[in-house]
Chain A
Amino acid sequence: MSIDLLEGTPAAPPRDNGELVFSEPWQARAFGLAADLVDGGHFTWDEFRDHLIEAIAGWEQASGCGEAAEPWDYYRCWLTALEHAVGERGLLSGDAVADRAAAYASRPAGHDH
């Protein structure tokens, strides 16, 4: 089994008792981006953790109330926490992120080839 998680990076050995550390590339980016913002002093791991706890609790409440919750996805909670941390620190406005995401979502397939 070999999965190229990142361009230019050799396929990582499944060190984690056979479990890949990240199952999709975006999970790795979300992890690395949070770590980089912590390293850069934009927020601390403790602050990030508070957002993560909130995101996970939000999922669990929605799930426990029998609403149509998203299936459990840890890194979606991580991403939500990252967006909240970035917003709380005023690093980016929510509008700027939403506009960019909308622009990327409307790209034609194969746009970068």
Chain B
Amino acid sequence: MHDDHGHGHHHGEHDHGRHAASSPGVRVEALEDLLVERGLADRERIDATIQRFEDDIGPMIGARLVAEAWADAGLRRRLLSEADAVVAEMDIRGAEIEHIEVKANEPGVHNVVVCTLCSCYPWALLGLPPNWYKSPEYRARVVREPRAVLAEMGLHLEADTELRVWDSSSETRFLVLPERPVGTEGWSVERLVELVTRDSMIGVAHAADPGGQ
């Protein structure tokens, strides 16, 4: 009868017992309810935003961009010089709020991305960042000792490879264009996409090994 009652309302941790007023679940619930009651926020829009970031926005968007750039030298050139225009043409939602620069890995040059102050990241292309990207350890150490950090994450670079660390900001978000794996000549974009991992677009990994496909 009251199908709409409580629609979209979250039933969180408080279902299971009492929590301190300082617990984050209680603080968020208080904020949200007050803002909704005052008409400053909208529960259904919040639900939709969360769902979009959980289901629709993620590394698969950046992976397609990378695979298309691998397959098309003209697109690759444009992506490196005017990523915003390319992204706009691809109608990638949310990209209008971010200025994106793409940095290409090539023989002898490897790029890696960090946000030293917080967690800036190309949301429209990769979704929300993984936990390790936001961790104090990664943010501090990848600038000081990038080679060691990458090795710990399983990426061992040649000693003479130049490492470039890009610090994101509210003005500029970076995407790494990983090197196209050898042995993928003639592959379709659809197949190439499968090789483009999230971590390879942050610069802490190479693209996946085509032999593993």
- List residues of chain A with CB under 8 Å of any chain B CB: 5-9, 12-13, 15-17, 19, 21-22, 24-33, 35-37, 39-40, 42, 45-46, 49, 52-53, 56-57, 59-60, 63, 72, 74-76, 79, 82-83, 86, 91-92, 96-98, 100-102, 104-113
Contact = CB atoms under 8 A, between A and B. Distances in A.
Nearest 8 A/B pairs, CB to CB: A32-B46, A100-B30, A12-B54, A105-B21, A101-B30, A101-B21, A26-B25, A15-B58
Interface stretch (B71-79, B114-122, B154-162): B114-122
A73 to B, nearest CB: 8
Interface string B16-29: 11111111111111
A61 B108 CA distance: 38
Contact of A21 (B20, B128, B197): B128
Q: Main SS of chain A's interface residues?
A: helix
Given A6-B47, A32-B46, A52-B118, A105 B19 contact: yes
Contacts, number: 180
A82 B25 CA distance: 13
A72 B135 contact: yes
Interface residues of B, number: 61
Nearest to B46: A32
A19 B131 contact: yes
Given A32-B50, A108-B18, A40 B40 contact: yes
B29 A74 contact: no
Given A12-B55, A39-B45, A104-B29, 14 more contacts: A6-B50, A15-B59, A16-B128, A16-B198, A26-B25, A28-B54, A31-B128, A33-B35, A33-B46, A49-B118, A49-B120, A101-B22, A104-B14, A104-B26
